[in-house]
Amino acid sequence: MKKLLFTLTLAVFAFSGTALFAQDIIDADDENNFTNYYEKKNFQGRSAIPYANLRESDVVWETAIWRSVDFREKFNQYFYFPTSLTENTQGRINLANALLRAWENGDIEAFLDDDLKKPADFTVQTKKLGEPVTNEKKIEDEDGMLVGTGEFTYDTLPYSVDRIFGIRLKEFWYIEKNDTRQKVRIVALALIYNRCVSRAGAEGEEDTRTCTDREVAWFPMNDMRVRNVLVKARAYDERNINAERSYDDIFIDRYFDSYILRESNRFNRTIASYAVGEDALLLSQEIENKIFDIESDMWEY
């Protein structure tokens, strides 16, 4: 009899524990949190870890590098998706939306140049990204029939985040005297907008549409406000969505594919100003190899 009562008592406790546990899962703090089976708040409560203190006397060598990260490359696509803020986001936000939303709200600052000297205004900069579209005025008779065309009118479509196909980074590679190791610090990031302009062709000619890359603004990556925005935004992980890293983690770990646009030089010029095509790619890779060789060349065996 005692064994039976003990067994029944254990069963009651087990059932009540399971019920309480199930109740905790259903009743998340967010009253509309129906898509998660447990409360996810690690990212929202995170703050970026400040960089280690560095003195001028600790740096024995440095060079400035500008590089491009193309979101259309498969390896970098987690920067680009999702482009929407409301549909199929799975709780994520892409890099451009994270920065633009914080900039629009006044949470972070942006600048017109990579020296971060000239402040940029959100409304002014995004208005420049609008796409001008030419419309031909239609002439109709009293019955609504088209009888001809008249003067042209111009409209401007608003900017769209899905036209931001990449970023540019300004970074400093340096060797620290204390441990004789080569390190890198990203100091500025620019969003790159692919702006298109449509022009109506003359009679007998086709309409044209040309697209060019434009810098939206530069964001200071040494600013803790910017890093705290990035550390709260999750980037998709192909292998395990529970192990997703923040954009701040990605930049620190350098988990992206890129190519060099420019190295600090006496002429202050970019690779594109004196080389194109395959030659430009070879020069970019040559600079990359030179940077990594500098640290090993310091040692003697």
Residue 19 placed within a domain: no
CA distance 112 to 218: 6
Strands 164-176 and 131-140: unpaired
Cα 274 → chain centroid: 29
Q: Which domain holds residue 149?
A: 40-297
19: tokens are 């019920």
Residue 17 placed within a domain: no
Residue 165 placed within a domain: yes
Q: What is the pTM of this model?
A: 0.82
Q: Are 185 and 50 in contact (CB under 8 A)?
A: no
Residue 144 placed within a domain: yes
Q: How close are the terminal C-alpha atoms of the chain, in Å?
A: 81
Residue 111 placed within a domain: yes
Tell whether the torsion through CA atoms of 273, 159, 228 and 107 is positive or negative. positive
The total of structural domains in the chain comes to: 1
Return left, alpha or beta for 254; rule: phi > 0 is left, psi -120 to 50 is alpha, else beta: left
pLDDT of 19 reads: 43
Residue 55 placed within a domain: yes
pLDDT of 162 reads: 94
Instruction: Give the model confidence (pLDDT) of 29-58 as tens digits.
Output: 555 566 677 777 777 778 999 999 999 999
Residue 89 placed within a domain: yes
CA distance 202 to 72: 34
Query: How open is the CA angle 66-69-75, to the nearest 5 degrees?
Result: 145
pLDDT of 48 reads: 94
What is the block-wise mean pLDDT of the chain (301 residues), using blocks of 10 residues?
56 49 46 68 83 93 97 96 83 93 97 97 93 68 63 71 97 92 96 87 72 96 97 88 90 96 96 95 95 81 55
Residue 117 placed within a domain: yes
Residue among 214, 222, 233, 194 nearest 102 (CA): 233
| Amino acid sitting at position 71 | F
Instruction: Give the model confidence (pLDDT) of 51-106 as tens digits.
Output: 999 999 999 999 999 999 999 999 999 999 999 887 777 778 999 999 999 999 99
Spatial CB neighbours of 175, under 8 Å, sequence gap ≥ 6? 59, 60, 61, 62, 181, 182, 183, 294, 295, 298
